[in-house]
Structure 1
Amino acid sequence: MNMSQATTEQRGAPLGFVGVGTMGRPMARRLLQAGHALVVFDRDEAAVAELVALGAQAAKSVREVADRARIVFTSLPTPAIFKDVAIGANGLLEGETLKILVDLSTVGSRTEKEVAAGLRAKGIETVDAPVSGGAAGAQKGSLAIMAAGASAAVEEVRPLFDVLGKVFVVGTEAGQGQLLKLLNNMLSSTAFAITSEAFVAGMRGGLDPEVMISVINAGSGKNGATLDKFPKHVLPRSFDFGFPVGSVCKDIGLAVDECQALGVPMWVGNVARQMWNYAAMQDGAARDMTELVRYVERWSSTDGLEDSQA
């Protein structure tokens, strides 16, 4: 049986999905809308109920998902939770049906490699496939998916990735997708941090923020913050990008640790990490990441952008 035949014949069997939160729920919804049967589990009963209303089947445990589905997706918030779900007691590795775990989480390469080794001992392949694009990208099916794993497993799940966004095969070993995702997130969060400082400085110097955006995006300073987050979520003062400061701290922390383990000193990365961690300690962990600007305004003893535009 070749891979195209396998995918076609297995389409009628349910896919599994564990972790249907901010990112997992819209991805699971897209799989349902594409016609796939789905069995889901999450501790948040309301999130599960929303998907059940769209046709998903609810599982009573992680183990049940792996008992019923050959391919299981995970989208989980921390390395510890992912490890417990995958290889802990009554975890996915104890399932009778699971053959491919597709991990969409951001948990770092060391945890991913440890989990992949544990699952492989049970005959289960891991496709390391963290995603970039945020909740909006998950809803639109425009995520960038960084997939790494055994070629046969990656090819089998590729049609499912096409429902979620654009897949980039970045390697053949679990952990390589995690490394690239962490590097991407570190660049993004560092760009937002320095952009926040630049805009607060510009406001203190009397510059119009709309003019600043236009000029910077026409010049060499443009980045993801100036092109997207500032015009959509900061200047309107909505601060609703949908990714919390605490998650930024987790990702940039994992990124800096991995880079240092590879022998890179991380002068800039460490400073950016400290800035985000300090914001989190000032009651900011649960706040939207775009609210970092408010902390820079406070630390600068300056009027906020909102007050300056009033």
Structure 2
Amino acid sequence: MRSTTIWRRETPSRSIGRTGPCGMLCFPLLEVVLVLIFTGTAPIYKPRLDQSIAESMIVEQSVNRNLFAGSAGARNAHVTTDSDVSTIESPHSTVGFVGLGQMGFHMAHRLREADVELIVFDVDTARANEFIEQHGGAVAREAGDWACCDVVLLMLPNSAIVEDVLDGEIGSALSPGALIIDMSSSEPVRTRALAAALMAKGLRMLDAPVSGGVKGASEGRLSIMVGGAAVDLAQARPLLELLGSKVFHVGGPGTGHAAKALNNMVSAATFSITAEALHVGERFGINPGMLNTILNASSGRSNTSENKIEQFVLSGTEGSGFSLRLMAKDVHIATDLARQVKFPVPIGDAIDSVWSTTANDIEPSTDHTAMYRLRS
């Protein structure tokens, strides 16, 4: 059974004053040796999307030499489930959370329910204030407010925004040894480069994207795919276990983001072919609900047929909480990765084309389950 007594607050929720949200000077509880090892002020490097895989492997090797001593990486990939979660005494004092969108709002709420001392930020100030009014915590008002955070979670739309955040006031304010956990759907090669750049500045990074949608976020039952050092995951695991029922250590930097993109390429392909089958069946006189029931009792069963068609498509709600544009973005990340590792994905490219073309002609908030209607 998961513990709900991690990161208890010593003081009630409050607004941030000039002394910052911690009320006192907070130091990341990281081994002192990291502070001695990690120095420098290198700016965050933003590689082009077409950066060669050879360049990215050089970045990975550099990161691995410094962060992965003793880690077997992907060969020893581990998944934590509800049955094997143990209570771990938290080393964290204050946790930062950046990005309170549909997913981030619920995830931050889960942390507050577990009494995590939380500092939040969203580009939409009203959204951040709404969160504090409902769930407590504090809103970051100035750069110095981040200095007391030894862990910062990011839930943002893409790599470019993640890089901007970490190359700006937030990244500059963090103390050496702070751990950054990027839970966004970012680009794997850019993530590797970012991890190396942060390491040069004395900061650590995990990429930890999620799957499970708004429902999984609100229930704390996300699947979390983690790339980065095993020692950093060990520190972050108590936090991640508040957010997800399964935590996978995929491998080195960027592998979590790669796994997420590849998963969504499969998800988009499954949704597309299921929708096409239902449309063809309907034109031949088969009720879509009946055909979906048959799929669920047969070899065509999938997450799409079980958890999306009746709930969000045939009901007309189109309310899964994951936008079509974000799905299209993830599919493109996957096919771009395939090109960089020089493996042809003709089916993936076809799916990429369909979703990208459709995404160009819709409102940003359009749910990805609207693809069924838009393809009719």
Question: Which TM-score applies when normalising by structure 1?
Answer: 0.89
The structure 2 residue matched to 1:240, chosen from 297, 319, 324, is 319
Distance in 2, Cα, partners of 1:25 & 1:136: 12
State the partner residue of 2:96: 16
State the partner residue of 2:223: 144
Preserved CA contact (<8 Å) 1:92 1:98:
no
State the partner residue of 1:306: none
Are residues 66 and 94 of structure 1, via their aligned partners in 2, closer, same or farther at CA, if it must alter by over 3 Å?
same
Q: Comparing 282-291 with 257-266, which one deviates more in the overlay?
A: 282-291
State the partner residue of 1:214: 293
Distance in 1, Cα, partners of 2:211 & 2:171: 25
Residues 1:186 and 2:265 are matched in the alignment = yes
Distance in 1, Cα, partners of 2:255 & 2:197: 17
CA deviation after TM superposition for structure 1 residue 285, in Å: 4.5
Are residues 57 and 78 of structure 1, via their aligned partners in 2, closer, same or farther at CA, if it must alter by over 3 Å?
same
Distance in 2, Cα, partners of 1:182 & 1:18: 21
State the partner residue of 1:203: 282
Preserved CA contact (<8 Å) 2:295 2:301:
yes
> Percentage identity across aligned positions?
34
Bigger fraction of residues in helix:
1
1:200-251 residue CA offsets vs partner (Å, 9 max, x unmatched):
1111010022211111111111111111110110011111111111111111
Mapping of residues 114-193 of structure 1, within 5 Å: 114-165=193-244, 166-171=246-251, 173-193=252-272
3-state DSSP of counterpart to 2:232: helix
3-state DSSP of counterpart to 1:255: helix
Mapping of residues 1-310 of structure 1, within 5 Å: 8=89, 10-11=91-92, 13-53=93-133, 54-61=135-142, 63-64=143-144, 66-86=146-166, 88-96=167-175, 99-165=178-244, 166-171=246-251, 173-283=252-362, 285-297=364-376
3-state DSSP of counterpart to 1:8: coil
3-state DSSP of counterpart to 1:169: strand
Preserved CA contact (<8 Å) 1:66 1:97:
no
Aligned-residue RMSD, C-alpha = 1.8
State the partner residue of 1:305: none
CA deviation after TM superposition for structure 1 residue 149, in Å: 1.1
1:154-199 residue CA offsets vs partner (Å, 9 max, x unmatched):
001101111001211111x210111111110110011111111111
Preserved CA contact (<8 Å) 2:30 2:177:
no
Preserved CA contact (<8 Å) 1:65 1:92:
no
- Number of matched pairs: 290
Distance in 1, Cα, partners of 2:98 & 2:321: 20
Question: Which TM-score applies when normalising by structure 2?
Answer: 0.74
Structure 2: runs of 5+ lacking an equivalent: 1-28, 32-87
Q: Comparing 48-57 with 198-207, which one deviates more in the overlay?
A: 48-57
Preserved CA contact (<8 Å) 2:264 2:330:
yes
Letter in 2 for 1:220: S
Distance in 2, Cα, partners of 1:105 & 1:167: 15
Preserved CA contact (<8 Å) 1:242 1:288:
yes
Task: For CA contacts below 8 A with separation 6 or more, give which structure has more relative contact order.
Answer: 2
1:67-93 residue CA offsets vs partner (Å, 9 max, x unmatched):
12000000000111011112x232414
